[in-house]
Amino acid sequence: MTLAAPRLACVLTALMLILAGCANDQPSSVATAPSAQAPPAKPIVLVLPDELAGYKKHHPPATATGPSDFGMQVSLAGAFPASARSAGGGYVARMEGTQAELFFVGIVVGDFADPQQAIENAFASLRPGQSHASLGLAVSMPRMHTINAPSTVDGRIVCGLADGGNGVWIFPVCGWAGKTAAGVVAVYGGMTLGELEAKIFAIRREAESAAG
């Protein structure tokens, strides 16, 4: 009988250890603070510079109707996937008295696995069905050729003469596309095709640099 007390003590000690272990296995009742949610990123807005390849940007008077970028952004947005970001604007090629002769530039930033398709999409932004339809364009591109670009230039550049409607209005155009950017230039006055081809590398470089 004298051994009962020590045995009882051992049993109680073991039981306390077991209970203590079970208590440690219980989930903590301390609530963890929810992690702070980062604010949604603001969409990056593309803006073309006030000067491009030496040409000043044309800003329509406040009384003018229509978008200040002459519909280029809307036209390009309709010709490219929704994930792409676009911008556009008009530039003064030459002044005839008080009348500005303009050319229009549009740029799109995205991922373009097929540069040729991206160029076709850029030209499609000039056709009826886009915002430029109000300018009376019925654009076709029967005379296009690839511009030989330095090896350091990504993608392709295609230029030529576009038909604005039944052969009556012929005007110079260029389109370009690389892996991450595409663009289009349409000259409505004040610049020949040769002059555009001489400027297209600078126009592309500065437009893409401004677009980031």
Write the pLDDT tens digit of every residue in 21-74. Answer: 444 555 444 455 555 565 544 445 678 999 999 999 988 776 666 666 777 888
Contact between 175 and 121 under an 8 Å Cβ cutoff? The reply is no
Residues 69-80 have pLDDT tens digits of 777 888 888 889
Percentage of residues in the chain with pLDDT exceeding 70? 63
Residue 189: which pLDDT band, with cuts at 50, 70 and 90?
confident
d(C-alpha 184, C-alpha 118), whole Å: 10
